[in-house]
Structures are given as C-alpha cells and as structure tokens.
Amino acid sequence: MNKLVLTEEETMLADMARGFLDGAAPVSKFREMRDAGQTFDRALWKEMADMGWAGVLVPEDAGGSDMGFAAANVIAQEMGKTLAVSPFLSSAVIAATALRQVSDARASDALAKIASGEATYALAVDEGIKFDPEGTAMEAKADGNGFRLSGKKQFVVDGSLADRLLVLARTESGLTLFDIPADRAGIQRDASNMIDARDAARITFDDVEATGDDVLGSVDRAMDVLKPALQAGQAALAAEMSGLSAGAFAMTVDYLKERKQFGVEIGRFQALQHRAAHLWCEIEVTASAILNAGRMLDNDPENAELAVSLAKARATDTAKLSVIEGVQMHGGIGMTDAFDMGFYMKRARVGAEWLGDYSYHAEKIAAARGF
C-alpha cells in the first residue's frame, strides 16, 4: 500500500525547489513578465535544466535524472506556489513521457535534448472547446511513404515558442502521433492571448509534410504512446494546481493575520477561521490524492487512470475554492490587478480546462467505478 506522505528524498527536493523558486521565480517575477508581454524566460529554464528538472523523467543514459513521476509532481507543486512560468509540463513531463514509450535512437536523442534544455515541446491535441483526443478530426493523409497534415489545433500550451510539436492526427484506421519541428513549412502559429499570461497558440497545418520517421510510435496507434504522456501531464498539472491552492491560501492567511477591523485582526473572527480551516483540509486531501497519482504512475502505470483523474478533478475543485475564498477574504483589494490574488485565480481557471476539465475526469472516475 502506498504511503501518502513524502519520502525523505522528496522532502529534500521540495525544499530545494522552494528555495530556488522563491529567489528566481517569485510571483513578482511573473508580474514583471506579464507586464513586459513575456511568456518564456529561457535563462530560467536553462537553470532548471542544469538542476535536473528538465530531465526529471528522462533516463540516465540519455542525460536525465530519472527521478520518477512522484518527484515530477513535487517540482510542479512548488512551481504552482509562485506561478513560475516554464515549459516544464509540456516538455519535461508530457513530451518526455511520450518519447520514453519509444525505444529507438531518435527518441533517445530527443530525450537528451529535453534534459539539457536544448529542445522544448508543445502538445497539439485540442481542436474543439473541450479536451477530446479521441474526437480528433485533423487529417494525416497518406502520401507515398509519408503523410500530409491538414487541420487546426487550439489551446496549444507553450505552442508559440516551442521548438517541436507533438501532433495528434487521424490516419486511415485510427489516430497517429507525430513529432515534428515547429518551423516546418506549412505550419502557422498564432499566439493566443491567455488570461493567465501563459504561452499558448492556435496552430494551422496546411498540407504539412511528415515522413515515416516523424511518427512517434506506430501508425494508427497513437494512444499507446500518448495515453501515458497525458496521464503524466494531468497528474503534474494537478500538482501545479495544488501548489497554486497552497500559495493562494498562504497569502490569504497572512492577510487575515494583518488586516484589522474594529481594532481586531480579522483572523480572530470565528467565521473566517472556519472557512480557512475548511480550505486547509481540502488542500491537504488533494495533496494526498496527487501523491497517490504519482505513486501509481511510478509503480503501477497500467492501473493509474483512476488515481490520475481523481487528482485532476480534486485539484480543479480545490483551486477554485482557494482562489474564490482568497478573493472574498481580501475584500475589495482581492479584485484589483495590483494585488497578486487575481493571478492565482486566472491560472486556476486555465488549469481547470487544460488536459480535461472537472466533468471530463469525473466521468472517467465514474466509468472506472462501474457507473
């Protein structure tokens, strides 16, 4: 049975990450980037790569640290507390997990480039208003020994600046995953103005050439490669949202201790104490669900879907509660752009939709339980 407490190594990793992010990527840094219209700090990502974060899921023989999914979630959770912006989820988690499913020299070389910070990836899956990989309509038409890709993708997080794209398309008898350079002829990337100031893009593929070497895994069997990558991404995103919840909660508690009404700190008011205690309990339970998801992905990946969907659903719900309570307990200041709570609310809203919203994962949970 998995113990839902951090190991000594994971605690050390969390402490190290916390110390680094507090200094190199505090919320004030995010505000500076937002105001400057900047969505990616390459120097910061290089520092993260040098610490082994970019290679957290990359095998050691490809230059990675191979610490596992639970460790990746620990890092993501700490990033969420300060809203650190990086391609960690898209590249170090999703792309690295997909590439690990393939045993060839090309995949090994790609993994090495991710670990070093040399290459960044984005996942191009979404086409409609909701996450639905199985409903992919983008066409990859056979053309000699290769394919021609035509269609559109939206909500491609990290998509406007990524070096490479993982593209899901429909082939003759199923779905196929392609790993192609983002600057290939026929690809047009239009940056999306995301409410949380994170890099994203709408991407148009106009008769884009893809060779057999660009296929990641097997033709018509994309989910063999993509499903583990999606689950890893969903768990890490849940961890980031859990960190976001904890960051918003800490900010709120500090305010409750400082703000006075009638000469008394408002944190002494029992009604607010009850609300804060309830939120703390929700954050702790969600953190346990996320730790369980990481343990399942590490130890029993074939049966991890329920744990992952539970973590993402709970993280979505908890983040929503945390930012709503944060705004309300801060009163009028909580609604202003000059105060950081709004950043947490916007990030929570985007995270709720990426890689499946609450309803998507609730349906997965219900199906797994036989309903």
Determine the pLDDT at residue 5: 87
**What's the pLDDT band for 182 if we cut at 50, 70, 90?**
very high
> Cβ distance 85 to 157 under 8 Å?
no
Q: Is the four-CA dihedral 83, 227, 136, 119 of positive or negative sign?
A: positive
Instruction: Look at the pTM and tell me if it is higher than 0.85.
Output: yes
- Compute the distance between CA of residue 298 and CA of residue 54 in angstroms, rounded to an integer: 18
Chain segment 236-281, per-residue pLDDT in tens: 999 999 999 999 999 999 999 999 888 889 888 999 999 999 999 9
CA 338 to chain centre: 26
What are the domain boundaries of the chain? 8-120, 122-221, 223-368
**Position 236, amino acid:** A
Size of the chain, expressed as the number of residues it contains: 371
What is the arithmetic mean of pLDDT over 281-297? 97
> Cβ distance 358 to 315 under 8 Å?
no
The 8-class DSSP code of residue 65 comes to -
Chain segment 147-162, per-residue pLDDT in tens: 999 999 999 999 999 9
Q: What is the CATH number of domain 122-221?
A: 2.40.110.10
What is the arithmetic mean of pLDDT over 178-186? 98
- Compute the distance between CA of residue 55 and CA of residue 71 in angstroms, rounded to an integer: 11
- Residue 121 makes CB contacts below 8 A (sequence gap 6+) with 87, 90, 91, 94, 95, 114, 158, 162, 163, 164, 165, 166
Classified by CATH at the fold level, domain 8-120 comes out as Butyryl-Coa Dehydrogenase, subunit A; domain 1 (1.10.540)
The CA-atom distances, in angstroms, between 83 and each of 89, 222, 247, 266 are 13, 32, 9, 27
> Cβ distance 305 to 364 under 8 Å?
yes
SS3 188: strand
Question: Directed axis angle between helix 27-35 and helix 69-82, to 10°?
Answer: 70
In CATH terms, 223-368 corresponds, of 1.20.140.10, 3.10.20.30, 3.40.50.280, 3.40.50.2000, to 1.20.140.10
Chain segment 199-248, per-residue pLDDT in tens: 999 999 999 999 999 999 999 999 999 999 999 999 999 999 999 999 99
* Tokens at 335, concatenated: 């609604």
> Cβ distance 120 to 163 under 8 Å?
yes
Chain segment 18-72, per-residue pLDDT in tens: 999 999 999 999 999 999 999 999 999 999 999 999 999 999 999 999 999 999 9
Own/partner pairs for 103-112, CB < 8 Å, 24+ apart? 106/213, 107/216, 108/61, 108/62, 110/164, 110/179, 111/55, 111/58, 111/59, 111/62, 111/63, 111/64, 112/58, 112/62, 112/63, 112/64
Is the pLDDT at 1 greater than 50? The verdict is no
